[in-house]
A and B are shown apart, each in its own frame.
Chain A
């Protein structure tokens, strides 16, 4: 794909920098529908120029939050500021915010050109063709200007919806599950494309999705939402490596959560007892409030070795391989531990070592730094439920 920066694109970047500015601040907003609380006392600052993702399962309140930012819903309580301006009660058309809607919501009776020009015309701009053509070039579809939306493929409609929003150079661009209707391959391609366009135009993007991989690919900062509240916020790497709750640990990738107890400390490390076996982990990766914890280790951080072979780091003995699945880049093992729990181990198929067999007696080990600790009273099942909506789309 063409990654050079033509004149038109440069120009668009320059124009944006003169538009309205500021961070987006949500202050203690709640939204209730009758008895149901969709968003509960949520506070959030989205820095200008960032690519921010609201990630969570369906019904977690992320779309409601987005719609309140867009002005399509009014918060029951709380305020929304863009820079210094309070926009809480402003109508959608009064906000310098544009949205890329789920399923795009292109105007079926207008040509692609007129779809993109819609926002410009409403603001009284007479000569729209230069801006429209520029943005059509940005999304690489200048040849479709005179078509109607129904004549376009899903991927093309998606880009036009994006073009229709960014041509207005909003202070904030909202994306509501923008890639949900695309097939997997096209979705991956558009993820990279979107991120590139965001850097190119320098707008603040707020992206709502239930797809953790999509959020991690694109966003600088992710807020994981659950039941109307923000569960944890941080960079994709932060959230993945050091999740603060079982929900985040399970919703972003997979985790092995093993019940344990903090026995004491050793310098910068904690000494933890897992069913009689001692391990160590960094103090700063513990989210526990007392000595009762769940020790968390990502499956790919585990190493697996036969009993009797040398190993290093934290070691848990007494495992037996229950199941082996070869999936190309890695082999996934289910290992039953002496206390009955099954743990997942992903081994890269890169060292030429023949895979282990079902029934092998093994030892699992890992670097202590990869351990995180959750509160012992956390719900280890949280974030595990398979969402039917996601199944449909995959």
Chain B
């Protein structure tokens, strides 16, 4: 009797710790954030004193005042995602199919940057792209950029920083899905009159779509909300929505606007991701 009862209850017991954790550290804060997003400043109160109202107009003000930063966030995130995909796909392909005994070593190299703090790595990019780094003088000497052009504090630097920081998140899922492909399906494609390019287009790429979808999501979502790269590698002209939220919270102590921006960002990402998965995902996912 008690045994049967345990059997029924066991799955719930196993779920309990995770549920409690998420409830405390995700659901409650979200509810709190939702409340904050509709608060208004107390008339005559101190800075940072707000009362609970239902000021949904906060959303409209927050969005209209920061349209530019929203747009920039998505454009930067998209650029970084596309660049990361362009770099990670060949890399993952080579590791999965051509690396032989070096496979595990190369995978460790892909993950190696995680051993250094995210902030440190981003600051390092400041050095790399700075006047004394090797990139700028090299590009100048071969005439790609002019003598007066700098790379730090530019959109370019921000996008590069994000591409670099999120590259492992793109590479690993791509590798996982490429590695799962039966190489014989590629041989079969060659056997059935497809040359290398056609085999890639018709067999390898479609079969690796789960990895492409997972990798792009794992890159795009955090990149769209990122503020570290823009703060360290950018300028006031390259502010992303994450920077706005950060300054509203910690500098201007405008909690309602910051909360409203956070929700707007979340909603925008959710909608984009849903549309994306509908378009790219379901049909190709095996």
Chain A residues in contact with chain B, CB under 8 A?
70-72, 91-93, 97-99, 101-103, 105-109, 118-119, 122-123, 148, 150, 164-165, 168
Question: Is B286 engaged at the interface, CB distance under 8 Å to the other chain?
Answer: yes
Known: A92-B187, A103-B184, A105-B187. A122 touches B194 (CB 8 A): yes
A123 to B187, CA, bound (A): 17
Given A93-B192, A108-B185, 7 further pairs, Cβ under 8 A: A72-B190, A98-B191, A103-B184, A105-B185, A107-B189, A107-B203, A109-B286
Known: A109-B207, A109-B286, A122-B198. A70 touches B188 (CB 8 A): no
A105 to B184, CA, bound (A): 6
B106 to chain A, nearest CB (A): 23
5 pairs from A and B in contact (CB 8 Å cutoff): A72-B191, A93-B190, A93-B192, A105-B182, A107-B203
Which residues of A lie under 8 Å from residue B182 when comparing CB positions?
103, 105
Known: A105-B184, A108-B286, A109-B206. A98 touches B190 (CB 8 A): no
A9 to chain B, nearest CB (A): 22
Question: Is B21 engaged at the interface, CB distance under 8 Å to the other chain?
Answer: no
Instruction: Find the A residue at minimum CB distance from B198.
Output: A122
1/0 per residue, CB under 8 A from A, across B192-209: the answer is 111100100011001101
Contacting pair B187 A168 (CB below 8 A):
no
A106 to B190, CA, bound (A): 13
A70 to B209, CA, bound (A): 29
Which DSSP category, helix, strand, loop or mixed, fits chain B's interface?
A: helix
Which residues of A lie under 8 Å from residue B131 when comparing CB positions?
none
Question: Is B147 engaged at the interface, CB distance under 8 Å to the other chain?
Answer: no
Question: Is B51 engaged at the interface, CB distance under 8 Å to the other chain?
Answer: no
A305 to B185, CA, bound (A): 58
A100 to chain B, nearest CB (A): 9
A139 to B195, CA, bound (A): 28
Which residues of B lie under 8 Å from residue A71 when comparing CB positions?
190-191
A251 to B166, CA, bound (A): 58
B194 to chain A, nearest CB (A): 5
Contacting pair B206 A70 (CB below 8 A):
no
Known: A93-B193, A119-B193. A105 touches B286 (CB 8 A): no
Contacting pair A91 B195 (CB below 8 A):
yes
Instruction: Tell me the B199-222 residues at the A interface (CB within 8 Å).
Output: 202-203, 206-207, 209
1/0 per residue, CB under 8 A from A, across B173-186: the answer is 00000000010110
Known: A92-B190, A99-B188. A108 touches B207 (CB 8 A): yes
Contacting pair A70 B191 (CB below 8 A):
yes
Contacting pair A107 B194 (CB below 8 A):
no
A97 to B193, CA, bound (A): 9
Which residues of B lie under 8 Å from residue A123 when comparing CB positions?
193
A91 to chain B, nearest CB (A): 7
Which of A92, A103, A109, A148 interacts with B191 by CB under 8 Å? A92
Contacting pair B189 A118 (CB below 8 A):
yes
Question: Is B246 engaged at the interface, CB distance under 8 Å to the other chain?
Answer: no
Contacting pair A122 B193 (CB below 8 A):
yes
Known: A92-B187, A103-B184. A118 touches B207 (CB 8 A): no
Contacting pair A168 B203 (CB below 8 A):
no
B200 to chain A, nearest CB (A): 13
Question: Is B68 engaged at the interface, CB distance under 8 Å to the other chain?
Answer: no
Which of B188, B202, B203, B286 interacts with A101 by CB under 8 Å? B188
A150 to B207, CA, bound (A): 14
Contacting pair A168 B207 (CB below 8 A):
no
Instruction: Find the A residue at minimum CB distance from B205.
Output: A109
A91 to B191, CA, bound (A): 9
Contacting pair B192 A72 (CB below 8 A):
no
Contacting pair A122 B192 (CB below 8 A):
yes
Which residues of A lie under 8 Å from residue B202 when comparing CB positions?
118
Which residues of A lie under 8 Å from residue B192 when comparing CB positions?
93, 98, 118-119, 122, 164-165, 168
Which residues of B lie under 8 Å from residue A148 when comparing CB positions?
286
A108 to B206, CA, bound (A): 10
B165 to chain A, nearest CB (A): 32
Which residues of B lie under 8 Å from residue A165 when comparing CB positions?
191-192
Which residues of B lie under 8 Å from residue A106 when comparing CB positions?
185, 188
Known: A122-B193, A123-B193. A72 touches B207 (CB 8 A): no
Contacting pair B184 A101 (CB below 8 A):
yes
Which residues of B lie under 8 Å from residue A168 when comparing CB positions?
192-193
A319 to chain B, nearest CB (A): 52
B97 to chain A, nearest CB (A): 14
A386 to B207, CA, bound (A): 39
A101 to B284, CA, bound (A): 24
A108 to B284, CA, bound (A): 10
Which residues of A lie under 8 Å from residue B206 when comparing CB positions?
109
Contacting pair A91 B286 (CB below 8 A):
no
B179 to chain A, nearest CB (A): 15
Which residues of B lie under 8 Å from residue A107 when comparing CB positions?
185, 188-189, 203, 207
Residue of B193, B202, B284, B286 contacting most chain A CB atoms (<10 Å): B193
A70 to B190, CA, bound (A): 10
A211 to chain B, nearest CB (A): 20
Which residues of B lie under 8 Å from residue A105 when comparing CB positions?
182, 184-185, 187-188
Instruction: Find the B residue at minimum CB distance from A170.
Output: B191
B227 to chain A, nearest CB (A): 39
Which residues of A lie under 8 Å from residue B191 when comparing CB positions?
70-72, 92-93, 97-99, 101, 165
Which residues of B lie under 8 Å from residue A118 when comparing CB positions?
189, 192, 194, 202
A150 to B185, CA, bound (A): 14
Contacting pair B187 A72 (CB below 8 A):
yes
Which residues of A lie under 8 Å from residue B284 when comparing CB positions?
109
B211 to chain A, nearest CB (A): 13
Which residues of B lie under 8 Å from residue A91 when comparing CB positions?
190, 195
A380 to B203, CA, bound (A): 49
Which residues of A lie under 8 Å from residue B198 when comparing CB positions?
122
B15 to chain A, nearest CB (A): 30
A72 to B191, CA, bound (A): 8
Residue of B185, B206, B284 contacting most chain A CB atoms (<10 Å): B185
